[in-house]
Amino acid sequence: MLPMPPGCSTLGSMLSTLHRIGNSVVQGGAAGDTGQVTELSVRLRELDEHLLAELLATAVAEADPPEVMPPGDGPPGWTRQRQQAFLQFHRERSIGADTPVETTYAIELDSTVVGAARLEPVGTAVEAGIWIGRSWRGSGVGRAVIVELLAAARAIGAVRFIAVTTPGNLAARKLLASLGADVAVRDGDVVAELTL
């Protein structure tokens, strides 16, 4: 894929995109699976304590713990201990860290937190991660978020974009391939790489 100037998307005229990276706010629209253009009011907001509380509520209502955080001890489900671990995980890696490991964003759709996205610098690359609540999967939110993460990665000077998913996540694999990523299976994971 050829490098694009800042502010341009790989979906060209199919997407309307507004970037305000300096304020940690980005908005975008995306094409749905039907091939028709669907405008989405998707916004990425850099995670803070207020948004973290909303993100936890979304995770509890719309995802299973292994989908949104590292595995932990104890019984399955959203126990009080696991909810505290979720909060601590984000505080240690992003919002409360002296030296953040990554930048984490709350994904908002029409002012509702529907998931999270992250960019973690790895040398001259960034590794991206996304989770979206069950109710909003398949609606085009993932595509809009990936486009915005690509723009944010370019804005910080990254030269490669990496995303890792499971072999069973066919939607993510298809989306990443459609954006021009090289997708391969490595050590049981699916790794997608895109030169920026």
User: Domain ranges in the chain?
Assistant: 12-195
Amino acid at 20: R
Alpha-carbon dihedral angle through residues 49, 50, 55, 60, given to the nearest 10 degrees: 100
> Structure tokens of 56?
């936890």
- CATH node for 12-195: 3.40.630.30
Q: Compute the average pLDDT of residues 161-172.
A: 93
Instruction: Determine the Cα angle at 147 with ends 144 and 151, to 5°.
Output: 140
Q: Can you list the alpha helix ranges (DSSP code H) found in the chain?
A: 49-62, 65-68, 80-90, 141-155, 170-178
Q: What is the pLDDT of residues 9-59, one digit of tens each?
A: 332 222 222 233 332 333 444 433 443 335 778 999 999 999 999 999 999
Q: What is the pLDDT of residues 76-99, one digit of tens each?
A: 999 999 999 999 999 999 998 899
CA distances from 19 to 28, 77, 131 (A): 8, 37, 21
Q: What is the pLDDT of residues 174-192, one digit of tens each?
A: 999 999 999 999 999 999 9
Instruction: Specify the 3-state DSSP secondary structure of 81.
Output: helix
Backbone phi and psi for residue 17, each to the nearest 5 degrees, phi listed first: -135, 135
Q: What is the predicted pLDDT for the residue at 136?
A: 95
Q: What is the pLDDT of residues 47-72, one digit of tens each?
A: 999 999 999 999 999 999 999 999 88
What is the model's pTM?
0.79
Q: What is the pLDDT of residues 101-123, one digit of tens each?
A: 999 999 999 999 999 999 999 99
Q: Compute the average pLDDT of residues 138-159.
A: 95
Strand partners, 29: none
